[in-house]
Amino acid sequence: MNRFARFAASALALSLVPAMLMGCGKKEASTGSDLEYIKQKGTLVVGITDFAPMDYQDADGSWIGFDADLAKAFAESLGVEVQFQTIEWDNKVMELDGKTIDVVWNGMTLTDEVTSSMACSNAYCNNAQVVILPADKAANYGTVDSLSGLRFAVESGSAGMAQAEEKGLTYTDVVDQATALLEVKSGTADAAIIDSLMAGAMVGEGTNYADLAIGPVLNAETGEQYGVGFRKGSDAAAALNEFFRQQWESGALQALAEQYGVQAALIEQKEF
């Protein structure tokens, strides 16, 4: 995974901040254990999109990445097989509730909408939303105020779309962040808003998007955090938090972060 090593300096730090998510997805009355349901059927179905370096396919078509590898290890700890299923991001809660997937594990920002509709894990990575522009025009748009009048492509239902709405930007929503990049590359959109981790892995010199560049950070002051989402009321979130804790204490989580160019660092807390 050497191609991701050069993005380590720009990737945001791994975050272990349990206090900030107290009350997220509180368990409700349930007729059974969601964790036992997953174990009994023998598979953990993981809802994802194509999002390097979190979830993406290798040359053989197998799903790999920081999140994908963590999901595989978690499934193994439960004694079940992992199955990756691509989803339309805007339908993630419907997919969970309909049990077509068991978990959303795809660099998911812990927005109010997410934490109110899913049982969430503790935060495990920091992120931000950044603007992507053609490289030959990026110097003209160094501030958020300068972006007015541009036509943006954003992933439907994403934190990027929320930022576009908050900043009053004109946008078209597309199926995923990879498509948003294609829109800019093809000239059908002036700019895109995507996650900073994806931008670091996919945009700039040495990538398939060498003609694109990273512009302003839209939420630099507040930032955002990634979490994993299960069905509302699921007891699997607590099991994942324990798995995260064990992985951190063993050093496996830090090693995986380094492999995929995500800079691991403790922030305030030593445990999830």
Strand (E) positions, 20-158?
Answer: 43-48, 56-57, 63-64, 81-86, 103-109, 119-120, 125-127, 129-134, 151-155
For the 129-217 domain, the top CATH level (class) is alpha beta
**Is the peptide bond prior to 53 cis by the omega test (within 30 degrees of 0)?**
yes
Question: CATH number of the domain at 2-126+224-259, out of 3.40.190.10, 3.30.1330.60, 3.90.850.10, 3.40.50.720?
Answer: 3.40.190.10
The overall pTM is greater than 0.85: no
Burial 200-233 (b: 16+ CB within 10 A, else e): bbbbbeebebeebbbbbbbbeeeebbbbbbbbbe
The confidence score (pLDDT) of residue 31 equals: 53
Same fold, 2-126+224-259 and 129-217: yes
pLDDT tens for each residue of the chain, 272 residues long: 444 444 443 344 444 444 344 345 544 444 589 999 999 999 999 999 999 899 999 999 999 999 999 999 999 999 999 999 999 999 999 999 999 999 999 999 998 899 999 999 998 888 899 999 999 999 999 999 999 999 999 999 999 999 999 999 999 999 999 999 999 999 999 999 999 989 988 899 999 999 999 999 999 888 888 899 999 999 999 999 999 999 989 999 889 988 987 754 433 333 33
What is the model's pLDDT at position 197?
86
Which residue ranges make up each domain of the chain?
A: 2-126+224-259, 129-217
